[in-house]
Chains A and B, each alone.
Chain A
């Protein structure tokens, strides 16, 4: 998804236009083969099969959309999608706050705010459930305010999950807006002011249009996160409250057995339609993008408490959930079940020792690592040649790129429920482990192609390199984007719960599902769950930290410079 940033904020390359050597159409389609086969086989064909299945008894199956419980779940989905707007607004507010915080403070904020996006939603659910426990002896928020509010009970629970969604995804919106504000057309603004254009008109005619593109992009990110809400509810909401806030995706997973294949398909088509309708403003926002100015020379960073105080406050707030998780994991299991971490010791590494002595957990750690590695290889193997061929102008003119982009976006936004049933029936003969890897890879490939394509088109052709080595040259030059695609694939697979659960394979060997199992008695397993979650979180966070420099370059430029 991140690659939209390039669409929204194209970089003007003042160099001589690249002339590429042609490769034959025959060879070109060979390059595309793996990516097309995987996305078509795993997503498109099962999707069509789902639509056909849902219509196999006429429109009758769509009655399911008017059932009371289904309506409630779809209504919840809608609320989640509206929360996506809130996430964007918070991201914009934070970006405004940090707009001239200077390179150091700005960099720190960027890093801290984006970090939660690498945490699995499952872990996010666990953290917020810990913080908002109704018992003031255990729940941080009730302890802080000296109240005893059942935050995880009726009505209030929406507040908790709204905050969780904001904590996890506002950083991505922040990144987009932060980048956009840095490219604000300041000259135009200055000119408008000189000509006596009023404040309000300046806002309407200059500021807002220049933010429309990034806003659409940020909204799209948040929308995908909100549309896929699943594991955060499974982990974070008490069982009794899950029906109250679960969206259509989770409802589908619980009930598709009772609904029967036809009506379950109708529900997933309805769900996809809802997401698609909500995504329309984003797509039109992206289409109507304005051409932007080059990043202006960095404004002199303001100093003083008005900048750093809110920045420090935001940083502390964003780090707090991590602190809660780590501190809980370090407590004695009995103490952690009875009281919050501020009650003090006994402090111990016992929960980590237990986690690492648990054969199932350690086995899952190994399998998940292996699976993520295989998927990264598979994704790069398929996406790099595909993006390379698509970057050739003569094969696919720039005009035609937009439909490809739209298809890729659609594939990325689609809830996996939309194609789970046919997929399950077709893929089970392949064998569990390869099937899971293939599905994961197919789900990431559209994103990877988007990211890589946008970087590849900007790689200048080498003067002397021969045609057949050009692919390697391009990959070397666009290294940040390749790293970005790989890390994206790794994090998505590592943090996955949905695919494992949906496809009903014994997901017993996937890490997040082991953590989910551990939480059956949530509060009394607090320390154990926290320790496992810390281990499960450490890996993607370390990967992101280790590659942060490339990732940022991959996000904003995509090419080594």
Chain B
């Protein structure tokens, strides 16, 4: 405590003098908070003089903002779409080939069409097509068609949880539509494809079968972590669809060795879906070569153990290079490397009217779909059509 107090007292003059110091440390903006931020700081401490600050979900506004002087030198962004936002792309300094070589699929994601320069490099990647259950208690369904998951937990308060559901069903059902829904290909008509309506209906049917209106209302107040607690601590549910980074949450609250998972089910003869996510590190123009060096350092392949490999070892953190020691994560990590039927998280690529965020865009439409089919007991067919109309309206430029 005494040390903390001293840190605190030291911070006041430090804040006052911040402007007067000589060379300023590299400014790194991230979205994490709490435990994740602490671990990121451990990784960065091995580099030297770097100032990490959390911009949270506002990182898009920060990077687009009018104030040039406050742009960070480096940003670690969980939303790939932001890299291709016209008002941000121009502020990014492309990486040189001298940096680390990441797998082809992942390099492709950060390369603009018709260009061979990369806008960023992957710091962390995630497997979002897993369904978790208590060890020894769940059996994977044969097929997505007619899947009735029974007692399901969904953290519907977090829009990204619902959008992960949508993306998995979409990628399982109609992989050919997936690629047309985000820039640069997107034209609003893709959202009117009949497959999108079928996917929304299938999604509504699955949710409807798993929730009574009262449970639906509760689910709307639960976040991602709450849904995990429901399965592994309170045991009021049996299944939860969640990315690989659910593992440390499970182990923290329920202990080790209690969990197992299976792949998100495939639709009929289609390959199983693989929705991936990840945090990409980018160097901003004003950061100069220093920023590029830092990004290359941060995303390099690790040969020796360091803070990052310790993070990987503790679970819930995958990179394009390191194979995690945790046996539950080995397979997902290999699937990420192979990247068969893999697509990056749709809601994190959308820009404009459908861009994610609480109370807006795709998240809001899916929340309303969820509320309709579970709480208001609207027929999935009707609710799906309403949702598709909203998506189409949202995808047109300048629309709300």
List the interface of chain A (C-beta within 8 A of B): 67, 69-70, 133-135, 137, 148, 150-154, 238-243, 246, 250-251, 254-255, 257-260, 334, 337-338, 349, 353, 356-360, 362-363, 365-367, 369-370, 424-425, 428, 431-433, 501, 504-509, 513-514, 516-518, 520-525, 528
Contact = CB atoms under 8 A, between A and B. Distances in A.
B249 A524 contact: yes
Interface stretch (B98-106, B152-160, B287-295, B300-308): B152-160
A161 B53 CA distance: 31
B214 A240 contact: no
Contacts of B157: 238-241
B234 A504 contact: no
Nearest to A239: B358
B297 interface: no
Contact of B400 (A70, A356, A370, A516): A70
B358 A69 contact: no
Q: Which 10 residue pairs across A and B have the least CB separation, nearest first?
A: A238-B157, A366-B15, A356-B4, A243-B359, A153-B217, A239-B358, A150-B217, A508-B53, A152-B221, A524-B225
B56 A516 contact: yes
A518 B218 contact: no
Contacts of B221: 133-134, 150-153, 238, 240-241
Given A240-B367, A508-B54, A259 B223 contact: no
A356 B249 CA distance: 24
B96 interface: no
Contacts of A150: 214, 217-218, 220-221
A438 to B, nearest CB: 14
A134 B218 contact: yes
B37 interface: yes
Contacts of B298: none
Q: SS class of chain B's interface: helix, strand, loop or mixed? A: helix
Most buried by A among B61, B156, B158, B398: B61
A356 B359 contact: no
Given A243-B364, A504-B61, A523-B225, 18 more contacts: A134-B217, A153-B375, A238-B222, A239-B223, A240-B158, A258-B400, A337-B229, A356-B4, A357-B3, A358-B38, A360-B52, A366-B15, A367-B15, A424-B65, A431-B69, A501-B58, A506-B70, A524-B226
A517 to B, nearest CB: 4
A251 B359 CA distance: 8
Nearest to B4: A356
B67 A154 contact: no
Contact of A254 (B224, B352, B360, B375): B360
Nearest to B16: A370
B67 A518 contact: no
Interface stretch (B6-14, B143-151, B264-272, B319-327): B6-14
Contacts of A501: 58
Given A353-B4, A362-B7, A521 B69 contact: no
A356 B220 contact: no
Given A338-B233, A425-B66, A517-B33, A154 B11 contact: no
A540 B207 CA distance: 46
Given A69-B400, A337-B229, A504-B61, A432 B70 contact: yes
B179 interface: no
A213 to B, nearest CB: 39
Contacts of A365: 8, 11
B158 A239 contact: yes
Contact of A366 (B4, B12, B66): B12
A154 B400 contact: no
Contacts of A349: 1
19 contacts: A133-B221, A137-B234, A150-B218, A150-B220, A152-B221, A153-B221, A239-B159, A241-B157, A254-B360, A353-B1, A356-B8, A360-B52, A366-B8, A366-B16, A370-B16, A507-B58, A514-B54, A523-B225, A528-B34
B88 interface: no
Interface string B18-52: 01000000000100011001100100000000001
B353 interface: yes
B371 interface: yes
A432 B65 CA distance: 12
A366 B156 CA distance: 37
B11 A362 contact: yes
